[in-house]
């Protein structure tokens, strides 16, 4: 899935003196408060992290409350979807005019009717609201379906994604991946068939006419071997010459 990236960065964490007895716990508390929030400095939403304290020396800051800073080396997993990126999520609601999706368990993606390509037709089938492809009946989108969608925009305040199913490579992940797998099998099958046909052509004997000689040739281990010929025309001419 696009939009996920790993960032290794040096950070400084500001801690209250009362947290001096448990530095690691205080850093975990500070970083966990940033999870599932968009951070402008990181240019993304923090999804997960791990860190190591890079220096045991803390610097005390002047002020009414003398906070101290700790330098850490952190590895951050960030979610930063940009327009036209492909993200994946689970469908949680389907209506005649929209599809709602949960991405990574925390971000809501909304696909409006005008962003659903005409291939998909809304139907109320067996008590369920679904979108079915007009061309591929097995391509169905319903509640519970994992889908791949294109990003139009992201609201950084609410973490809402406005998505689209207009690109041809969006829709049910299960159907799309199976189609790719089937296409790969078909390509390999066609390649093997062409190779077999080529071998068959090379192994078949051929007939060549050379100056009135009807000669058949077949392949041999050392090249081309002649095994029969018809020279009636040559014999008749020889007899005529002898009569004269």
- Residue 195: pLDDT band (50, 70, 90) is low
Of residues 143 and 236, more confidence is placed in 143
Average pLDDT over residues 25-42: 94
- For domain 86-175, give the fold: OB fold (Dihydrolipoamide Acetyltransferase, E2P) (2.40.50)
Query: Domain map of the chain by residue range?
Result: 4-79, 86-175, 206-243
DSSP characters over the chain: -TTEEEEEEEEEEEE-GGGTT-HHHHHHHHHHTTBTSEETTTTEEEEEEEEEES-S--EEPPSSS--EEEEEEEEEEEE---TT-EEEEEEEEEETTEEEEEETTTEEEEEEGGGB-TTEEEEEETTEEEEEESS-TT-EE-TT-EEEEEEEEEETTTTEEEEEB-STT-EEHHHHHHHHHHHHHHHHHHHHHHHHHHHHHHHS-EEEEETTEEEEEEEETTEEEEEEEE-HHHHHHHHHHHH-
CATH 3.40.462 is right for the domain spanning 4-79? no
pTM: 0.68
Give pLDDT, residue 58. 73
**pLDDT at site 243:** 44
Which range is least confidently modeled, 15-24, 156-165, 189-198, 209-218?
209-218
């Amino acid at each position: 899935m696009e939009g996920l990236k790993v960032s290794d960065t040096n950070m400084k964490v500001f801690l209250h003196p009362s947290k001096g007895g448990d530095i690691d716990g205080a850093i975990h508390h500070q970083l966990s408060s940033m999870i599932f929030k968009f951070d402008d400095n990181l240019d993304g939403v923090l999804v997960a992290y791990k860190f190591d304290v890079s220096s045991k020396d803390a610097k005390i800051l002047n002020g009414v409350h003398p906070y101290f800073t700790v330098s850490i080396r952190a590895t951050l997993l960030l979610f930063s979807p940009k327009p036209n990126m492909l993200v994946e999520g689970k469908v949680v609601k389907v209506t005649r005019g929209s599809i709602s999706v949960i991405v990574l368990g925390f971000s809501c993606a909304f696909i409006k009717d005008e962003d659903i390509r005409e291939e998909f037709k809304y139907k109320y089938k067996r008590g369920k609201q679904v979108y079915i492809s007009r061309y591929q009946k097995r391509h169905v989108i319903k509640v519970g379906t994992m889908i791949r969608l294109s990003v139009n925009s992201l609201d950084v305040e609410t973490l809402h994604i406005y998505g689209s199913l207009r690109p041809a490579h969006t829709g049910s992940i299960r159907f799309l991946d199976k189609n790719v797998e089937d296409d790969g099998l078909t390509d390999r099958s066609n390649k093997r068939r062409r190779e077999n046909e080529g071998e068959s052509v090379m192994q078949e004997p051929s007939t060549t006419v050379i100056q009135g000689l009807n000669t058949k040739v077949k392949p041999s281990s050392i090249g081309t071997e002649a095994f029969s010929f018809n020279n009636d025309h040559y014999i008749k001419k020889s007899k005529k010459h002898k009569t004269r």
